[in-house]
Amino acid sequence: MVGGVEQEQIWDADAAQRYDTPGAGMFSPEVLGPTVDRLAEFAGDGRALEFAIGTGRVAVPLAERGVPVTGIELSLPMIEQLRSKVDEATIPVVVGDMATASASGDYAVVYLVYNTISNLLTQAEQVECFRNAARHLTAGGRFVIELWVPELRKLPPGQQAVVWHSDPGYIGLDTYDTLRQHAVSHHFQFDESRQARLTRSPHRYIWPAELDLMAQLAGFQLESRHADWTGAEFTADSRSHVSVYRLPPER
């Protein structure tokens, strides 16, 4: 959904049509409910900006809660899928890269969900993403990021791949390039036939400490970090985190 021609090719019309899984997976109420609750709390009486808004998985229910939401999105097919749900007046979207594109107005919260900052494939782009968030926020505003923790502890010497999820009909594995801090997520979907469908997406993984330094470079301070949107404690065994960065009240 972000970050150059390669990402535009990944998030094409086929990906957009298959992205939504209403009521299941990342669209399930137990996943979406706490996400929207927390973001609505952060927005308060202000406006929210979603970087890489995609098909509106989070933005649509957040707008239904009465929060004015604007989005930035690189993929035109993803925006078209969003437009099948809400019009431009309800959720305006700026076409562009989340590291550089600008949306008009000031916002109480800017957010990035479901690992999307890792779609920016260089450290420089990721730092610019923080700076872009800061430019859009009011004094005291928050930048909220949901991101996975790289599972390198599961990677024995000489091995490049880690299976991170396995269900009937689905296997997800990541291959790591530890020299460049890159990973490629491979999604295998299959049925009783001998055929399988493979989709892949590249990422630059970020350790929490590196993420905190990126935030400092953009003028943010870490306000909180939890293992999920419900506020569970973040520990050494947590597989992901929700990190909340805040600008000083006076800028």
Token pair 């009465």 is at which residue? 66
pLDDT of residue 103: 97
- Domain 5-149+207-246 sits in CATH at 3.40.50.150
In the chain, where the domains are located: 5-149+207-246, 152-201
pLDDT of residue 22: 61
The C-alpha atoms of residue 9 and residue 74 are separated, in whole angstroms, by 11
pLDDT of residue 189: 87
Q: 92 — alpha (psi -120 to 50), left (phi > 0) or beta?
A: beta
pTM over 0.85: yes
pLDDT digit string (tens) for 179-224? 999 999 998 988 888 888 888 889 999 999 999 999 999 999 999 9
Q: Which residues contact 231 (CB under 8 A, 6 or more apart)?
A: none
pLDDT digit string (tens) for 63-72? 999 999 999 9
pLDDT of residue 31: 83
Query: What burial class does residue 22 get, using C-beta atoms within 10 Å of its C-beta: 0-12 exposed, 13-18 middle, 19+ buried?
Result: exposed
Q: Evaluate whether 172 touches 115 at the Cβ level (below 8 Å).
A: no
Spans of the chain below 50 pLDDT? 1-5, 16
pLDDT of residue 13: 55
Q: Which residues contact 185 (CB under 8 A, 6 or more apart)?
A: 172, 173, 174, 200, 201, 203
DSSP-derived pairing of the beta strands 170-177 and 137-148 = unpaired
pLDDT of residue 4: 40
